[in-house]
Amino acid sequence: MDRIRIRGGAPLNGLIPISGAKNAALPLMIASLLTADTLELGNVPRLADISSLLRIMSNFGVDHSIAGRRPGQSSETGQTVRLTAKNIIDTTAPYELVSTMRASFWVIAPLVARFGHAKVSMPGGCAIGTRPVDLLIMALAKLGAVIEIESGYVVATAPKGLRGAEIDFPKVTVGGTHVALMAATLAQGTTVIRNAAREPEVVDLAECLIKMGAKIQGAGSSEIVIEGVSSLHGASHDVMPDRIETGTYAMAVAMTGGDLVLDNTRPDYLQAALDVLGQAGAEVTPTHGGIRIRRNGNGLQPVDVTTDPFPGFPTDLQAQFMALMTRANGTSRIRETIFENRFMHVQELARLGAQIRLDGDSAYVDGVQGLKGAPVMATDLRASVSLVIAGLVADGETTINRVYHLDRGFESLEAKLTRCGALIERVRG
């Protein structure tokens, strides 16, 4: 397996272009199953999860093509993917495909909405908690789908089509909102989703669906109203910038010091995280096309954070922020309220010299004078990049193993950091 080797101590200076958001691209690709026409998606990141989903879609009979580079595009500025789900040959998503990525379970919504039948394996993916699919199944059942569980598969049928309904989520669920949104676009009548996720990725999906002919109001609020239509058509849509990648590089420059412009992104997508960075001692300034992050030689201040659904502090930035707080002048508390098993990076950060105590859903981070390089192991996507952030300031050499987790969610990470002065390289396995 590939490894990443880092020699710490170099500040970050320059410009990093932010890629399209993986967490937006995946549901957008899945939405192509709702129409026989072609859906063209621009700014799609080059990631392992994107490739995995394309394989799953091909298994259904979806044709896809990746356009050649346009003027001004590079390996770091996304790609254009065209998906055509005209001739679907199968509505089964087998375990060997779905088990590699949780989000692929969402294909159940457009398949049952458009074809009246879907058989999808229970999902796999990162081991950061149980993340059950019960709320997703509940949403489909509310819309009239008959649900059965057979040998690890969820079978959903609706031979007469789905019907509009009121869906009240007992807790905020991004996956559940995606599933309900896609299924309701082709349901007969009106659907109201209450306690809907407000994440920008949900808004991005809704905007694409509207371009395809869906009738949706309220995306970005806690109540979304969908008036079902008989069919959707093709469209062209650009994937939103990745707010988690943005926050990750912002924390990296806050950690190392330097002056970094993050281009092609939007501060309003992660204002809670930027506010926290400002409290920690980084200077955050919006620019015409993104964000500028600076930190001189001043020390980092400890800040307490609690992860929350949008617009709160994102759980997907918790590990990165924990790495940052290992160098703060004092003790910070990080409370994780979204996933119950998302502190697996703590033991790996401890190998670098971090002082972290766990107590239930909280981690108490005592800042240390310095970290020391060591071999560490990536445990999931966000945990792996927290080790990169720590390695950027650790004395000596840090080697990160199992970096396939990084390849699932960060496009051209080594190239982007190297260009800004980091001493980082990939060692092929």
Q: CA-to-CA distance for 336 and 328, rounded, in angstroms?
A: 19
DSSP 162: -
Sheet containing strand 290-295, edge to edge, reads 12-17, 258-263, 290-295, 283-286
DSSP 395: B
* E strand intervals along 3-88: 3-7, 12-17, 38-44, 63-66, 79-84
Half-sphere exposure of 399 (CA within 13 A, CB side): 8
Q: Give the orientation angle of helix 22-31 with respect to helix 48-60, to 10 degrees.
A: 10
How far does CA 16 lie from the centroid of its chain? 19
**Marked catalytic residue, from 57, 103, 109, 126:** 126
Q: CA-to-CA distance for 252 and 274, rounded, in angstroms?
A: 13
Of the candidates 365, 359, 314, the one whose C-alpha atom is nearest the C-alpha of residue 338 is 314
* Element holding 425 (H helix, E strand): strand 423-427
SS3 at position 410: coil
Measured CA angle at 71 (ends 70, 73), to 5 deg: 70
Does the annotation mark 126 as catalytic? Answer: yes
Q: CA-to-CA distance for 36 and 195, rounded, in angstroms?
A: 31
* Residues annotated catalytic, as ranges: 126
